[in-house]
Amino acid sequence: MVTTTSQTRRGATYDGSKNQIDVCSSKFGSNLAVVDVLADLLDGVRARGAVFSRSALVPPWSLKFTARAELTVGAVLAGEAWVVRGRPLRVAAGDIAVVRGGTPFVLADDPTTPPSEVVGEDRYCDWGPGDGPAVLVSGAFAGPLPERLRRALPDVLVVSDADCPTPLLAAVSAEITAARPGWQVVLDRLLDLVLVSALRAWFDGDRAAPAWYRSTGDPLVDRALDLLHEDPAHPWTVAELAARCQVSRAGLARRFTARTGEPPMAHLADWRISLAADLLTDTDLTVGAIARRVGYGTTFALSVAFKRLRGHSPSEHRESVRAAAVVRHHIAAAEQQPGRRQ
């Protein structure tokens, strides 16, 4: 479900268990709002069930992934692998690889091993003899990916087990092996958690995190972000936002821009367009109804803002997403024809 508020996330109640949502950062308490910002961005990114099952592989092996997913997550449960798209990156046992974009990539025992199998849009596939030293799982995530997140991620990133020790990978492996009723839904949700955990750990590392992720270092900016995210349809002005935050307009603008890399109203516009894109993708609401829901009074106003930030109109966005869905459906149907390995 798409929501235009973040109240349930920012106001969530947790039971205090460290592993409740898989903590990969020791700064969980101080970074709770940071996690919420990431959750807002990932709200429309969901595992779609294209799960690469628990497979044990004997060298030499190489798998070419062709699924047209915005994000693909691969994890090594035992042994090691290499993810190849451009410069090869090693993925050791317990490590998590996140691959961005819809172009093919390779997972292999060695960067020089040519692909011997193709992993496409199948909902469930099981490669390998079952007694090899390398054990892998992966999942593809539906999009579209928010532009702010897309700009922050490299084509491929690898989060080490040392940076993100997590029991979730063992849970994924156990769920696949058990194959109990409802396994697909459970796996999808586990993979959602693996993705958020991996990205959070990656942003918390030594590499430079994007400004919007660092924004919660300032309580004033936190308050402003909460207000904007909780009610994006409100006709916000810098003056009203500053008054609600009990600070001058100049002070708010200066601190907000320093922490997020953009002024408050620019951030709001980007957030509104992100919400509009989700609604265009996931609902049949008219463009006019979506415009009113995200804070633009008319279809024309939304169209102008959408084209300025996304480079195309809302209608063109909806058409392209639906066309891509049709293509994925046909590819999946073709790959599941008799004679293809499942």
Q: Give me the DSSP letters along 287-307.
A: HHHHHHHHT-SSHHHHHHHHH
Q: Is residue 308's pLDDT more than 50? A: yes
For the domain spanning 218-320, the CATH number is: 1.10.10.60
How remote is the C-alpha of 107 from its chain's centroid? 20
The percent of residues above 90 in pLDDT, for the chain, comes to 30
The average pLDDT across 59-85 equals 86
pLDDT (tens digit per residue) in 104-130: 899 999 999 998 877 765 544 554 444
Cα separation, 5 vs 272, whole angstroms: 11
The average pLDDT across 65-91 equals 87
Residue 26's pLDDT is 32
Q: Is residue 74's pLDDT more than 70? A: yes
Domain ranges of the chain: 7-208, 218-320
**Maximal C-alpha separation, the chain:** 68
Is 304 or 178 the better-scoring residue by pLDDT?
A: 304
217: DSSP letter:
G
Computed over its alpha carbons, how large is the radius of gyration of the chain? 21
Tokens standing for residue 18: 């460290």
Q: Is residue 22's pLDDT more than 50? A: no
How remote is the C-alpha of 104 from its chain's centroid? 18
Is 25 or 268 the better-scoring residue by pLDDT?
A: 268
Residue 54's pLDDT is 61
Helix and strand numbers (H, E) in the chain are 13, 11
| Sheet with 96-100: strands ordered across | 124-125, 47-57, 134-141, 71-78, 96-100, 156-159
- Confidence label for 267 from pLDDT (cuts 50, 70 and 90): very high
Cα separation, 48 vs 72, whole angstroms: 11
For the domain spanning 7-208, the CATH number is: 2.60.120.10
Is the Cα torsion angle 113, 118, 121, 127 positive or negative in sign? negative
Residue 5's pLDDT is 32
Cα separation, 278 vs 3, whole angstroms: 9
pLDDT (tens digit per residue) in 202-251: 888 756 677 667 656 789 998 999 899 889 999 999 999 999 999 999 99
Cα separation, 115 vs 127, whole angstroms: 13
Of the ranges 5-9, 160-164, 301-305, the best mean pLDDT one:
301-305
Same topology, domains 7-208 and 218-320? Answer is no
Is the Cα torsion angle 62, 68, 70, 72 positive or negative in sign? negative
Flag whether the pTM goes above 0.85. Answer: no
Residue 327's pLDDT is 66
- Confidence label for 167 from pLDDT (cuts 50, 70 and 90): confident
- Confidence label for 334 from pLDDT (cuts 50, 70 and 90): low
Cα separation, 268 vs 128, whole angstroms: 49
Cα separation, 95 vs 110, whole angstroms: 16
The percent of residues above 70 in pLDDT, for the chain, comes to 71
Tokens standing for residue 119: 């992993």
